[in-house]
């Protein structure tokens, strides 16, 4: 099992979800976050004061999947989140040693549906 974690622009969420649904992937968690990477932020003027905004609004999407589905998940996220501009996001893949469904007690790959 793998955990795919992606960080991307909030306005791209619908496109990413549709791309995942098209590949048959329906289980995901989405979190609103603030962060920065190569995009570094920007400056703006607010009530006459120049303010540096270096933590930008992003989304964190997590998908647990079988090893064989990792490429599909990554392709779907990439195609849905890509605008071609700096700050499109990044995807990480981590191993999951085990998982257990609380309701039924089943564990392992069986819980991924």
Q: What is the pLDDT of residues 89-113, one digit of tens each?
A: 999 999 999 999 999 999 887 788 6
* Residue 80 clears pLDDT 90, i.e. is over it: yes
Confidence at 35, pLDDT banded by 50, 70, 90: confident
Domains and CATH numbers, the chain: 2-112 (3.30.70.120)
DSSP string, the chain: -EEEEEEE-GGGHHHHHHHHHHTT----EEEEEEE-STT--EEEEETTEEEEE-SEEEEEEEEEE-GGGHHHHHHHHHHHH--SSTT-EEEEEEE----B-TTT--BGGGGG-
Confidence at 83, pLDDT banded by 50, 70, 90: very high
In the prediction, which pLDDT does 52 show?
A: 80
């Amino acid at each position: 099992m793998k955990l795919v974690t992606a960080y991307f622009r909030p306005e791209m969420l619908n496109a990413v979800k549709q791309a995942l649904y098209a590949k048959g992937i329906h289980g995901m968690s989405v979190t609103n976050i603030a962060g920065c990477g190569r995009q570094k932020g920007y400056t703006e003027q607010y009530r006459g004061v120049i303010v540096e905004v270096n933590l930008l609004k992003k989304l964190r999407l997590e998908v647990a999947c079988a090893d064989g589905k990792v490429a599909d998940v990554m392709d779907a996220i990439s195609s849905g989140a890509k605008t071609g501009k700096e700050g499109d996001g990044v995807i990480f893949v981590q191993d999951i040693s085990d998982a257990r469904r609380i309701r039924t007690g089943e564990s392992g790959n069986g819980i991924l549906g």
